[in-house]
A = this chain, B = another copy of it.
Amino acid sequence: MSKQRILVAEDDTNIRNGIFALLQGEGYDVCVAKDGEEAIKRYTERKPDLVILDIMMPKKSGYDVCRAIRAKDLQTPLIMLTAKGEEIDKVLGLGLGADDYITKPFSTRELVARVAAVLRRSAVAVEVPAEVKDVFKIGKAEINPKRYEVKTKEGVSSLSDKEMKLLQHFHLHPGEVLTRDVLLNAVWGIDYFGNTRTLDQHVALIRKKLGMSADAIQTVHGVGYRLEDI
């Protein structure tokens, strides 16, 4: 799974930097905003998987930002930071659609736990509409995404996470030439700066596991790869 992105909107520099460092340390891709307007801007340009909103902010309050986001998008989970418990009634009462809240002051443990829990819930709720969960074929090999396995005449081999994602992406675009950029973005995440040879390496592994059907994944010299559709 590629890194999950979190937008943190908080005006207090200390708290903002603290949360930034904390979440980044936990392996998230974090972007920040120091007021409500910036938060909305960052939201539209970065499309984060989770938004953490302070309520008291200059320009636009957390309430306003929440409404603005919910107007466009009902999916993305949202955590509010509040100074006092009472304000929660407002959050709920106004039907703003926040997913969780944390009252200041909070412990780092608490923040990390809630962030993880909210992301976990939303991951399950979405239940991966973009991905394929049913058995499909590549060449004469059968891919089983639920089991992370590929079955060929030669036998059954198990697939690693990246291998599975690559195969799924090929299957979703049969016959199309997929450039390295596209594949790297799809499997490794949108902002992957690594060596492009990594991709070749994984293609090679996949071909090995496909056995006879290896040539179903053709290389298009100077461009990328292509799944043969028969």
What is A's interface to B at a CB cutoff of 8 Å? 1, 12-15, 17-19, 21-22, 25, 74, 77, 85, 88-95, 97-101, 104-110, 113-114, 116-118, 120-121, 123-124, 146-148, 158, 160-161, 175-177, 181-182, 184-185, 190-196, 220-223, 226
How many copies make up the complex? 2
Enumerate chain B residues within 8 angstroms of A13, measured Cβ to Cβ: 93
Enumerate chain B residues within 8 angstroms of A182, measured Cβ to Cβ: 124
Contact between A14 and B89, CB atoms less than 8 A apart: yes
Measured in the bound complex, the distance between the Cα atoms of B160 and A159 in whole Å is: 32
19 more CB-based (< 8 A) A-B contacts, given A17-B93, A113-B194: A14-B90, A14-B94, A15-B89, A19-B92, A22-B95, A85-B105, A89-B105, A101-B105, A113-B195, A117-B191, A117-B193, A120-B181, A121-B185, A121-B190, A146-B176, A147-B176, A160-B221, A161-B221, A161-B222
Partner among B98, B120, B124 whose Cβ is within 8 Å of the Cβ of A108 = B98
Q: Residue of B at shortest CB range from A114?
A: B193
Partner among B17, B88, B120, B176 whose Cβ is within 8 Å of the Cβ of A184 = B120
Enumerate chain B residues within 8 angstroms of A77, measured Cβ to Cβ: 109
Contact between A97 and B22, CB atoms less than 8 A apart: yes
Q: Decide yes or no: A147 and B120 within 8 Å by CB, A98-B108, A100-B110 being known contacts.
A: no
Enumerate chain B residues within 8 angstroms of A190, measured Cβ to Cβ: 121, 124
Contact between B93 and A99, CB atoms less than 8 A apart: no
Instruction: Give the shortest distance, in Å, between A1 (CB) and chain B (any CB).
Output: 8
Instruction: Give the shortest distance, in Å, between A207 (CB) and chain B (any CB).
Output: 19
Contact between B14 and A93, CB atoms less than 8 A apart: yes
Enumerate chain B residues within 8 angstroms of A175, measured Cβ to Cβ: 146-147
Instruction: Give the shortest distance, in Å, between A121 (CB) and chain B (any CB).
Output: 6
Contact between B104 and A89, CB atoms less than 8 A apart: yes
Contact between B124 and A181, CB atoms less than 8 A apart: yes
Measured in the bound complex, the distance between the Cα atoms of B107 and A107 in whole Å is: 19
Enumerate chain B residues within 8 angstroms of A21, measured Cβ to Cβ: 95
